[in-house]
Chains A and B, each alone.
Chain A
Amino acid sequence: MKLSKFPYLVQKEIFAEMNNQDSFSFSFISKKMRQLIKSTQSERLKSISFINYKRSQVKTAIVGIVFKNGEEEDVLVLDERSATVAGKLIDFLYIDTHTFRHPLFASFHTRNKEYAIRCFHNCFLYIFGDSVKYQWFENCYKTPIPQLQNVSSFITLLNIGLRDDDMDMVETFFSSSPIPKWVKVTNVTEETELSPESKFYQAESVTVDKIDQTAPAALRYFHGRLAFLKCCSCKALDLIEFINRWKSGEAYQKLEYLQFRISHLECKIAKFPENKILSSTGAKRIDSTKKPPTHILPKLYDYYDQNRNTEPITSHAYVVRASDNRVASVQFQPNTFLFGVWDKTEEEFLKMIE
């Protein structure tokens, strides 16, 4: 039975009867088959919004498709092996041939990993183009994220720095991976510090949950847009330095939002020396009888957090950046310091006051 002998409309009908996994298997056969899938399955392809690569084990990643209705289906397992793979570059296998519930396994030797993953990604790029978003979800620093076109990476790492050898591996992981879009590190210990040039600090959004007394290094070295930092205590000088460096334009040019939270070990309320920080940074105040505007932004992503937006900042205190006259609202709450940068000059900002 030669598929090519069927008229186009019959081929289209056959593909329409296939499930998603089988359609994807098909697209890995040849360039012509990818063209055929693309031309016959446009309705199915339009219903997909994300291609997600998800690390499941150190040497295994699952490829899932996310539909516009929010449903997700795993279609492929990328399985890196140190042994040879049946003399082939990529060996395909269905693990459960009775229920077909498991996605297709694509096994390849470690030395062919980059090539194999790029092949699959190029298939997806050909089929979907810019109509979907490509995301890599990583939870392990032992294998770098491959450099793939148009892929945003989301990294969650736990217990960083709890073992002596961890930091070198974490450093190598970030230096060998593309700049992440979103990073969350939790249970970070005191001696943990990445080099200031690390791509970790270049992520668009970082969340650091530190379990010691010193401020996270991200407060000093972060280059991205959104930062959510937590540690056990904080010195006023750290925040004064942060605000002054932002005001001078020396650092944090892309910063849009900072949340700095003190998680006190004894559950006491930690109070920031608000007046000292505001006076040391030349902060200005809106007339207390007026209502200041509220700063709020969408978060990039947080799997564990139900809040899709940043915590709103409605504050009478603000600072102005010298280089471009941009304004940032500054707010102190029990245990939390909030800093929200407006895309407005001081004049424009003051016009928003009610």
Chain B
Amino acid sequence: MSSTEQGTSSAAPAEPTTAPESAAAPEVPESFYYVHGKDKVVHKVSAGALQHSALIHGMISNLGYTEEQAKANPFPFENIDGDILQMVVDWCNQHKGKPTPPEDTNLPKQKEKLFDLVLAVNYLEIKELLTYCCKQVAMMVKGKSPEEIREIWMIPTDAEDEAAEKEAKKRAGKEAAGETAAAAGDAK
């Protein structure tokens, strides 16, 4: 298992402090978790950075893993390509504990990468990053004619939609007929 670990501090969640109120609270050691995508490359990410993802934050909030347990149980996101997960992790790290800026210019310019990033970010429920991505996707069609938009986003024409619907109906009809025949065979 390879790793892109970026920190070295302990992963154990902090014990509740019992210090008197007047004294300054001791610094809480940061905890880390591990995630991997389709490529199985494991990324070490701080709990603070992972707070951007509502999905992961919900998963880890009550786990109470030690460093060893966290390392031994990376969260698998098999539906996300490794390079896309890397982008997400980088973004979460960059924006850890900071207010998000109104724009993000570091998103991928290639259509397919951006598409995969949108799906990943939506799955991981990273609201701010999703907004940036959607802005970028919307920018792709800014000032474009309907025909150009159709090409960019591969939108079928009315005729293609109708043909697809007909085909789907035909298929459903055949399946229903097959099921009826099978049921009749069973009955015999």
Please list the residues of chain A having a beta carbon within 8 angstroms of any beta carbon in chain B.
1-7, 9-10, 13-19, 21-22, 25-26, 28-33, 92-94, 97, 100, 104
Contacting residue for B130 out of A10, A19, A28, CB 8 A: A10
Across the interface, which residues of B come within 8 angstroms of A13, CB to CB? 130-131, 134
Across the interface, which residues of A come within 8 angstroms of B138, CB to CB? 14-15, 17-18, 22
What is the distance, in angstroms, from A106's C-beta to the closest C-beta of chain B? 9
Q: Is the CB of A25 within 8 A of B145?
A: yes
For the complex, is B143 an interface residue (Cβ under 8 Å from A)? yes
Q: Is the CB of A1 within 8 A of B111?
A: yes
Q: Is the CB of A1 within 8 A of B135?
A: no
Distance, CA A6 to CA B119, complexed state (A)? 7
Across the interface, which residues of A come within 8 angstroms of B153, CB to CB? 1-3
Smallest Cβ-Cβ distance to A92: which chain B residue: B145
Q: Is the CB of B134 within 8 A of A92?
A: no
Please list the residues of chain B having a beta carbon within 8 angstroms of any beta carbon in chain A.
111-112, 114-115, 118-119, 122, 130-131, 134-135, 137-139, 141-147, 149-150, 152-158, 161
Distance, CA A6 to CA B116, complexed state (A)? 10
Across the interface, which residues of B come within 8 angstroms of A25, CB to CB? 141, 144-146, 149
Q: Is the CB of A33 within 8 A of B147?
A: no
Distance, CA A30 to CA B156, complexed state (A)? 8
Across the interface, which residues of A come within 8 angstroms of B114, CB to CB? 1
What is the distance, in angstroms, from A262's C-beta to the closest C-beta of chain B? 54
Smallest Cβ-Cβ distance to B162: which chain A residue: A31
Across the interface, which residues of A come within 8 angstroms of B142, CB to CB? 18-19, 22, 100
Q: Is the CB of A92 within 8 A of B161?
A: no
Across the interface, which residues of A come within 8 angstroms of B143, CB to CB? 21-22, 94, 97, 100
Across the interface, which residues of A come within 8 angstroms of B155, CB to CB? 3-4, 29-30, 32-33
Contacting residue for A93 out of B135, B145, B157, CB 8 A: B145
Distance, CA A166 to CA B7, complexed state (A)? 84
Smallest Cβ-Cβ distance to A15: which chain B residue: B138
Smallest Cβ-Cβ distance to A36: which chain B residue: B155
Across the interface, which residues of B come within 8 angstroms of A93, CB to CB? 145
A14/B134 contact (C-beta < 8 A), A30-B156, A33-B155 known = yes
Across the interface, which residues of B come within 8 angstroms of A92, CB to CB? 145-147
Q: Is the CB of A2 within 8 A of B158?
A: no
What is the distance, in angstroms, from A236's C-beta to the closest C-beta of chain B? 62
Q: Is the CB of B152 within 8 A of A28?
A: no
Across the interface, which residues of B come within 8 angstroms of A14, CB to CB? 134, 137-138
Q: Is the CB of A31 within 8 A of B158?
A: yes
Distance, CA A22 to CA B137, complexed state (A)? 12
Distance, CA A93 to CA B146, complexed state (A)? 9
Q: Is the CB of A30 within 8 A of B149?
A: no
- Considering the complex of A and B, which 4 residue pairs feature the smallest CB-CB distances, nearest first? A92-B145, A17-B138, A100-B143, A3-B153
Across the interface, which residues of A come within 8 angstroms of B139, CB to CB? 17
Q: Is the CB of B134 within 8 A of A26?
A: no
For A9, A21, A22, A100, the residue with the greatest tally of chain B CB atoms inside 10 Å of its CB is: A22
Smallest Cβ-Cβ distance to B137: which chain A residue: A14
Across the interface, which residues of B come within 8 angstroms of A9, CB to CB? 122
Smallest Cβ-Cβ distance to B121: which chain A residue: A10
- Provide a sorted-by-A list of 19 A–B residue pairs whose CB atoms are within 8 angstroms: A1-B115, A2-B154, A4-B155, A5-B119, A6-B119, A13-B134, A14-B134, A15-B138, A17-B134, A18-B138, A22-B138, A22-B144, A25-B144, A25-B149, A29-B150, A29-B155, A30-B158, A94-B143, A100-B143
Across the interface, which residues of A come within 8 angstroms of B135, CB to CB? 17
Across the interface, which residues of A come within 8 angstroms of B119, CB to CB? 5-6, 10
Distance, CA A2 to CA B112, complexed state (A)? 9
A104/B145 contact (C-beta < 8 A), A6-B118, A13-B131 known = yes
